[in-house]
Amino acid sequence: MNVECFPIPVMPHTTRLFRDFVDPEESGAHSRMRRFYPVAPFGTDWLQQTPALPEAHRHRLADLLLEQNQRWGAGPAVLENIARLRAGASAVVTGQQVGLFGGPLLTLLKAATAVRKAQQATAAGKPHVPVFWLATEDHDFDEVNQLVLPLSQGQRHSLETLHLQMHSTGARPVGSLPLDDSIAPVLEQAKELLGYAPICDLLEQAYAPGETMGSAFARFLSHVFAEQGLIVIDAAGRGHHQLGASTLRSAIEHADALLDALLARNAELEAAGYHVQVKVAGGGSLLFLLDEATGARTALKKIAGQDQWRAGSQSCTTQELLQILADAPERISPNALLRAVFQDTLLPTSLYVGGPAEVAYFAQSQVLFEGILGRTTPILPRLTATLIEASLARVMAHHELQLTDIMTTADALAQKLGARAMPIEGKRKLSAAGNTLDRELTAMVDWMHTLDESLGRSADVSASKMLYQMNRLRRMAANYQLQREASLRKHADALTLHLYPNHTPQERILGGIWFMARYGDGLASLLVEHASQECPGHRAILL
């Protein structure tokens, strides 16, 4: 097996904030980053951030985790880790929305990184356990009801999108939505695309009618990382909200001050040239209210300067909202920025593992951590990787391609392959003609600029047209080669489909179950092995 490491900037759509976070020395952003992230993302500084939890809190937390994980079929390693947590171990935490059939590959990459970091900390004499936080309180069903898998049949290469359609979801949290018979045809389609591999048995067990989106995802993930003892947590219930009520109470009682701190932080980020991941406006809050009857989740808004809150058409005073928190804490839900603080009120988190969007969240949430908990949880970028199967690796080697060459369209890659496959004589003729044209045109246009500026501008236009025609000749020659060698187009289609689907990094599009189907339970251990972060950039892992 071979591994290549690419610097983060080669990845498309990478934000300036994330690039500076991963490599602040390279960009000269070290002092700026420390303002938003007090602890550096790599190294061992985060091991000194271990928070304490009251013993009674630990025992109650462990009881809740034990009940949940046993219900989801957790293995011995998970139960042992819960016991370690009860006895005083700290946690490396990650999380994700509860996507259909385990969601995209990045879900597995997140879990693998949390496992690896917990293992490394424990080996260094600091007992840690890995925890996966299920984002079951989100309510955007359209973000989690689909999964993309590749289809390759003969000459046909395509992406197939599985869609789960439920009769009614309303604005309810997605984790609580019950699966019904509508899951059967989607599951059958997945099994067919996966070649009825052994992982399909797990999908049938986890995504069965009667389960919820949250519990099905939990069963799946708990099995995949059973050997590594990954603890899974769904904190949407009353018990967890009781444990984290202090943070929810602070968000109610200090709503105006926390909102002001966030607005100031957003202004800081924008002044430093960074984007703001979560827009924050006056009159908002960090909380949602779940309807007592329907479970619908509605944003709570604080009326500035008044003791009044609104959630849709409902209104209440601060005292009435605090009473809801006391009587039914599960009805008060944190938003994306407050979630990390709520999470670390429950858990003894030393480190959070996240993707680029979560790194951006933390730049904003840092003021909430300090304002509510008086400390900031460090965040580490998850393993980012492209998994390259052996058949694709052979094609890449034959054409002398790197992963970065494939981060383009299938048409552009096919053109490149056609140009490379051209006979050497043709390449020499095109190269000689192109070089001569460039040289002579540059000299001619420069001379015409010295005669008259208007004449020079006209020469620029004419020269541009000539260069366009020269490039057209190159494309014509490459297309002719493509027609002669049909396999080149097939190779371009297969490479982009699997490694850069929909012009997007593989980890964000393709379902992790595709690789589980082909490589079995050993895939989890392989990903954990590669999640040690010696490469702070993007890994190309040749399977």
* Arithmetic mean of pLDDT, 286-300: 89
Question: Which pLDDT band holds residue 479 (cuts at 50, 70, 90)?
Answer: low
For the chain, the average pLDDT equals: 89
The DSSP-derived string for 134-164 is: E-TT---GGGTSEEEEEEEETTEEEEEEEE-
pLDDT score of 537? 87
Side-chain half-sphere CA neighbours of 425 within 13 A: 0
Packing angle, helices 213-224 and 105-123, rounded to 10: 50
Q: Tokens 């797990």 sit at which residue?
A: 202
Residue type, 59: H
Task: Check if the beta carbon of residue 488 is closer than 8 Å to that of residue 414.
Answer: yes
Contact yes or no for 61/243 (Cβ under 8 A): yes
What pLDDT sits at residue 422? 60
User: Sign of the C-alpha dihedral, residues 238, 244, 245, 249?
Assistant: negative
26-47 pLDDT tens trace = 767 778 888 899 888 788 888 8
Phi first, then psi: what are they for 163, rounded to 5°? Answer: -125, 130
Query: 198 to each of 7, 193, 215, how far by Cα in Å?
Result: 36, 13, 21
Closest C-alpha among 223, 512, 236, 261 to residue 365: 261
Assigned token pair, 185:
């045809």
Report the Cα 422 to chain-centroid distance in Å. 40
Predicted TM-score (pTM) of this structure = 0.88
What pLDDT score was predicted for residue 283?
A: 74
- Taking a C-beta distance cutoff of 8 angstroms, is the pair 240, 136 a contact? no
- Residue 299, classed as helix, strand or coil, is strand
Please state the separation of Cα 425 from the chain's center in Å: 47
The first and second tokens of residue 517, run together, are: 């189907």
Longest dimension (CA), the chain: 88
Backbone angles phi, psi at 275, to 5 degrees: -85, 160
> What's the whole-number mean pLDDT along residues 497-508?
94
Alpha helices (runs of H) in 198-328, residue ranges in sequence order: 199-206, 213-224, 238-243, 245-253, 255-271, 318-327
- 116 forms beta bridges with none
List strands edge to edge, sheet with 128-134. 231-233, 128-134, 90-96, 349-354, 379-381
In this structure, the dihedral spanned by the alpha carbons of residues 537, 538, 540 and 543, taken in order and rounded to 10 degrees, is 100
- The CATH class, in words, for 11-383 is alpha beta
Q: What is the DSSP string of 491-515?
A: HHHHHHHHHSGGGS-HHHHBBHHHH
**For residue range 180-211, what is the model confidence (pLDDT) as tens digits?**
999 999 999 999 999 999 999 999 999 999 99
- The string over 285-298, giving b where at least 16 C-beta atoms fall within 10 Å of a residue's C-beta and e elsewhere, is bbbbbbbeeebbbb
> 399-444, pLDDT tens digit by residue?
889 999 999 999 889 888 877 766 666 666 667 777 877 888 888 8
